[in-house]
A = this chain, B = another copy of it.
């Protein structure tokens, strides 16, 4: 292992952590020693590595085994002391401003979540309670800005894509930025960075100084997908379900770029919600796009949706091949409809209260072999429920491919067994095969892909 340059430093907060009561400072200090310490340390290390080229969480964490972070109480507030921190986060001994900001964003969100849980202020048993929780966390992060016209575009897709696809995401971001739109992503590399980079240049060209680059992440993934340095607002949601809900409630439209099983999961999540009868009349611009070389990929995805969820589901999105300006024009147009709709309904611009999210999309799915086997992959149910089951299937595959616990499960019990109607299983099989062939099944190493699933008719 290469030894890295490290440094010691002491930083004071900016933003909402500047004015704390003594009670709150006390809580924070506990963060510095108690059970959440590991969580915070891990997020902090990821943030201090912002812009580093490694996307391997383990590598980063192992590279700084001596890294420590201490929270000091002082009458005036708090101060963080960093020991053996990555030297790249500093310029001539001073921490880079954005890094400092993100560091305290992480602390803010972790402490908020802990505090809400400790005081049992969240009602996790109801859909409304979970939505309120997501809202409060985002508001506490000062992400919700009243009165601002809708212009937040969420970009989803793979974090590890080819150069041509990456370049394409930059060009799309550039066209979005030229039209005054902001970008929200999962805040890591690849599709999470490209559109922000393009929009940055475009906002500069349009002399638009308030451009927002919102990154929504989770503690479990931040180390692998360290926030790219363009992110100027960082929010850490506690898990993937809250994070997905945050995306669809703060975004005014979504663009899906090429990706792997994870991206398919996201698309199914969103379609599952949009197919809910309550959301029938709700405008929600959704565009699938990619460069010319992604043509086959987009067709397969489209066919799969048609074969499983039907043509109604296909009506909820547009596919635009290799035309960044057209993507941006359609998105701008779609967001105008959203603005009009919210204005008529007197709904907030900053949070999509009217979107109905079924509780089954709000609670986490645990991909055990039993749960996977019991997924109901049949036509005998409302389409939005089928979408929910399909999403879980992909969620499980992602886990079996790359997540620690999932891999162990596969090692112990063999591949997952997914059963269902032929009319669903066959398209699923074709899609997964295509992912394998196109090397979109991300693997920890570089070995040939051995499927973690088995389709059963």
Binding site for B on A (CB under 8 A): 18-19, 21-23, 74-77, 91-92, 96-99, 101, 119, 121, 128, 131-132, 135-136, 139, 144-147, 175, 178-179, 200-201, 204-209, 229-230, 232, 329, 342, 345-351, 353-354
Contacts and interface: CB of A to CB of B under 8 A. Distances in A.
Given A18-B147, A136-B21, A96 B178 contact: yes
A179 B93 CA distance: 11
Q: Which of A19, A98, A147, A350 has the most CB of B within 10 A?
A: A19
A53 to B, nearest CB: 14
A329 B91 CA distance: 10
A329 B131 CA distance: 48
| Top-9 shortest CB links A-B | A18-B146, A75-B347, A97-B207, A74-B346, A91-B178, A76-B346, A97-B206, A98-B205, A76-B348
Contacts of A132: 21-23
Contacts of A128: 22-23
Contacts of A135: 21
Nearest to A209: B209
Contacts of A345: 75-76
Contacts of A96: 178, 205-206
Nearest to A179: B91
Given A19-B145, A201-B229, 18 more contacts: A18-B146, A19-B139, A19-B144, A21-B132, A75-B346, A76-B345, A76-B346, A76-B353, A91-B175, A92-B179, A92-B329, A96-B178, A96-B205, A97-B205, A97-B206, A99-B205, A204-B229, A209-B209
A357 to B, nearest CB: 13
B348 A207 contact: no
B98 A19 contact: no
A104 to B, nearest CB: 12
18 contacts: A18-B147, A19-B139, A21-B136, A21-B139, A22-B128, A22-B353, A76-B342, A76-B345, A76-B353, A96-B206, A97-B207, A97-B208, A98-B205, A98-B207, A200-B201, A201-B230, A204-B232, A207-B232
Contacts of A200: 200-201, 204
